[in-house]
Amino acid sequence: MEGPALLRLWALAAPCVAAALALGVARAAVPEHRVLPELRVSAETGAVFVHELEREPFLEAFAGREEDDAPVTFRAHLWDHPDLPRWLRFVQRDGGQPGFLYGCPLAAELGTHRLQVLAYNRRTFATVSQSLVISVTPAPGGDAPFRAEFVVGDRNVEELLPEAARELFLRGSAGVWGRGDLHVINVTSALDRGGRVPLPIEGRREGVYVLVGSHSPFSPCLLAAVSPQSRSRCHRGQRPLASCYDTFAPHFSIRWCNLTLQEVRPGPTAPGPVWGSGVLEEGAGFEPPSAAAPRDVLPAFLVTLLVPLAVAALLCLLLGHLMCCRREGLEKRDLQTSDLQLFHHSSIAGDTRELRAMAGSRDVRRPLSTLPMFAVRPGQRRDPAGSAPLLPR
């Protein structure tokens, strides 16, 4: 009796063991996911915002220790939304480099923007997420009215996003502008402005548009670079008339023929709505808005109904006059037709009537070929006229 009992016990325990093994394999196959603490950053309107997604904190969260050679891919989007805000962009060249969130918020973007950053470890398939809260505040000094947009031809956009690269570019801009109160407003890749992807050749870059602003007027060098004489020389393939070519060298190669100067004057801003607390005061009652005054809609209804009916009646009268009162008539056409043509027509009509009368008065038996082969009931083969059958029996 021990053998059957053991077999019965094994049959009952086998599904449980298989389920436990499958659950263990499934748990081992599920990639690990961890969450980093929330990060809060601030941004100002009218100035470039750059946040670097460094690889080290995410690598430490993947396996508890730092792995410098693990490829990490970043993704960023609004919380509970698939896309980024319209003023924000994301760039990462490959998994071995950090990612950058950058953009220039405007006055319409004031407030708090909550983002979710996901990091993927391409080696272990583990993921790490982090909540990024961006608080956009108005610039203390207001927007810069004088702006110059430079085109850097020997850089990619991620090479100008670090703070050290932007400070180096502002030094060259200060030498061109002759002022020190400069700041970078926006950084845009040439690919986002309709540029072409460069050939995969060493040293070729996509190009970057850098917008620099200041509260001081433009320098004579910048004004000379955008003068009509300089534009004419650019169309002929020559260098524009400017004495500040070497200010950015040797760090940046500026395309002076693509320099753009903008002067933005602040306009009057309409007062926005004043929001209250939304809570009634103690003892105060809610007063709904007064009802609208009654309107007399009868004239509008009559105009809407009677005008189309009157137009339709006039069209019917005009159509009836054209169809009934403008006909030529048989007598008028006979008077306009020659007698020979009328005699020819009448003779043809008379002969036709005579032939029809003769054909109708014939008392000749119908040929058998015109009679039906079968009777009314199917399968009965005989002549319905009582003559000889069409087919031999």
Query: How confident is the model over 103-134, as pLDDT tens digits?
Result: 999 988 899 999 999 999 888 888 999 999 99
Backbone angles phi, psi at 117, to 5 degrees: -105, 125
- Token pair, residue 254, equals 């500026």
- The conformational region for residue 46 under phi > 0 = left, psi -120 to 50 = alpha, else beta, is left
Q: What is the pLDDT of residue 142?
A: 82
The answer to whether residue 9 scores a pLDDT higher than 50 is: no
Task: Show Cβ contacts of residue 19 under 8 Å, excluding neighbours closer than 6 positions.
Answer: none
User: Helix (H, G, I), strand (E, B), or coil: what is residue 65?
Assistant: coil
Q: What is the pLDDT of residue 40?
A: 93
Confidence of residue 12 (pLDDT cuts 50, 70, 90): very low
How do beta strands 127-137 and 39-44 pair?
parallel
Query: How confident is the model over 43-82, as pLDDT tens digits?
Result: 999 899 999 999 888 888 886 555 667 889 999 999 989 8
Query: How confident is the model over 32-47, as pLDDT tens digits?
Result: 788 889 999 999 998 9
Q: What is the pLDDT of residue 295?
A: 85
The answer to whether residue 22 scores a pLDDT higher than 50 is: no
**Residue range 316-340: mean pLDDT, rounded:** 81
| Residues β-bridged to residue 91 | 100
Q: What is the pLDDT of residue 162?
A: 92
Query: How confident is the model over 159-182, as pLDDT tens digits?
Result: 999 999 999 999 988 888 887 889
Distance CA 7, CA 20 (A): 20
Query: At residue 377, what is the residue type?
Result: R
Q: For the purposes of burial, counting CB atoms within 10 Å of the CB of 51, is it exposed (0-12), middle (13-18) or buried (19 or more)?
A: buried
Domains and CATH numbers, the chain: 33-137 (2.60.40.10), 146-263 (3.30.70)
The distance between the two most distant Cα atoms of the chain, rounded to a whole number of Å, is 130
Higher-pLDDT residue of 103, 18: 103
CB 45 within 8 A of CB 106: yes
CA angle 68/208/186 to nearest 5° reads 90
Q: What is the pLDDT of residue 66?
A: 52
CA-derived radius of gyration, the chain: 46
The answer to whether residue 183 scores a pLDDT higher than 80 is: yes
